[in-house]
Amino acid sequence: MAKTKVAVLFGGQSKDYSVSLKSAYAVINTLAKLNYDVIPIGITRVGRWLYYPGNYDAIADGSWENDSDCCPAVISPDAVHHGIIKLIDKCEMALQRVDVIFSVIYGRFGECGRIQGLCKLAGIPFLGSNLEASSTALDKAMTHLLLDEAGVKTIKYFCVERSDMPFIDEIIEKRDKELEYPLSVKASSCSSSIGSNIAFDKNELKAALKIAFSHHHKAVVENAVTGRNLCCCVYENEGLVTVSSIGETVPVESSIDKLNNYIGKTSKFVASTDLSPELSEQIKNTSKRIFRLMDCQGYALIDFLLKDEELYCTKISTIPGFNEESALPSLLEFDGLSYSDILEIMLNNALESKA
């Protein structure tokens, strides 16, 4: 029986490049051990697509793109091709048929729907949500609008467009009584860590908005609420929508390195076992509702903030981290699934639902 051919897309032009490499390394190594025919396709920081046939360790350390055996490769939008076109040299091309595409490219060039739309054009099944759900989930402003309209509580916010900057003083004055400092300022359609800052006064708010606008034309300003950051995974398995256990990132004691000149705070991801049955049920039911409301497919990571017994949805990730220590694999491992089990469930679902 022929092996299932899985093209794993990694890298990309966003600042989440290194995070993507970690996910790709874990995914590719595991799929190879499971006897899949893995086709690694890396995208460099400048946007060059390359087929990478070399040692997988070079993906982990970032040196993969310097391999002389790399060759340009792209997903063909021609549905008859159903695969990847490799440019062997200036005069020779080769078509590599692909059964399914597994993208671990993060940020606005990977989670925004562009890759998913290309896969749809090509007629190739892919893991995760479609173009519409992916782009909506990455857009923080749109997510706020949809969840608020559906009655799902989110943190108090307002949006600012880059074109509003000449009038920013008036806008801040108008909103001043609605929100309380400190405020969290985020670029709307980027990863949470990109273009995000905390502002403690009006001047810092204006500076933070300028930084956010360097990444996207729209910014979201929220109350910087602190509390417990909880999350769970909603995923499809054999036609059923399943919700994982609930987990959270907790701090670990600070540590001093061997030279005694650096203090580093570390954290770890753990199961949230102290939640009341009622709160756990609320989180799981709300997560499943959000998954359906956003029209997600395959899997999604739903993040919440718990503050004074109030629960706020803060983020929906349609392409979560996939290294073995990431939240999604950790949550499903709490439920008794191995990392290999998780990848096979996701792959089988993609092949069946998008066939």
Q: What is the dihedral of CA 345, 242, 133, 84, to 10 degrees?
A: 0
The answer to whether 186 and 222 have CB atoms below 8 angstroms apart is yes
Mean pLDDT of 219-225: 91
Distance of CA 239 to the CA centre of its chain: 23
Q: Which of the pair, 2 or 341, is modelled with greater confidence? A: 341
The per-residue pLDDT for 133 is: 95
> Nearest-CA neighbor of 135 among 69, 175, 77, 190?
190
Percent of the chain residues topping a pLDDT of 90: 74
Q: Model confidence at 233, in pLDDT bands (50, 70, 90)?
A: very high
120 CB neighbour count, 10 Å cutoff: 17
Strand partners, 263: 256
182 SS3 class: coil
Pair of tokens at residue 284: 């799981």
pLDDT digits (tens, 9 = 90+) for 292-312: 999 999 999 999 999 998 999
The per-residue pLDDT for 52 is: 97
The per-residue pLDDT for 196 is: 85
The per-residue pLDDT for 108 is: 78
Q: Model confidence at 262, in pLDDT bands (50, 70, 90)?
A: very low
Q: Model confidence at 354, in pLDDT bands (50, 70, 90)?
A: low
> Nearest-CA neighbor of 334 among 269, 239, 264, 237?
269
Q: Evaluate if residue 64 carries a pLDDT over 50.
A: yes
What angle do helix axes 131-138 and 114-122 make, rounded to 10 degrees? 180
Q: Evaluate if residue 256 carries a pLDDT over 60.
A: no
218-223 and 183-187 beta bridge pairing:
antiparallel
Q: Model confidence at 253, in pLDDT bands (50, 70, 90)?
A: low
Average pLDDT, the chain: 91
> To which residue do tokens 């204006």 refer?
206
> To which residue do tokens 């049920």 refer?
281
CA distances in angstroms from 79 to 189, 300, 306, 309, listed in the order given? 29, 27, 46, 50
Mean pLDDT of 214-220: 88
Q: CA angle, 123 as apex, 38 and 19 as ends, to 5°? A: 45
Q: Evaluate if residue 102 carries a pLDDT over 60.
A: yes
**275 Cβ contact list (under 8 Å, min separation 6):** 230, 246, 283
Mean pLDDT of 132-151: 94
Q: Evaluate if residue 139 carries a pLDDT over 70.
A: yes
Among the residue ranges 172-186, 211-225, 298-312, the one predicted with the least confidence is 172-186
Question: What global pTM score does this model have?
Answer: 0.89
Identify the sign of the CA torsion 152, 156, 161, 167. positive
Q: Evaluate if residue 259 carries a pLDDT over 70.
A: no
As a whole number of angstroms, the distance between CA 126 and CA 101 comes to 5
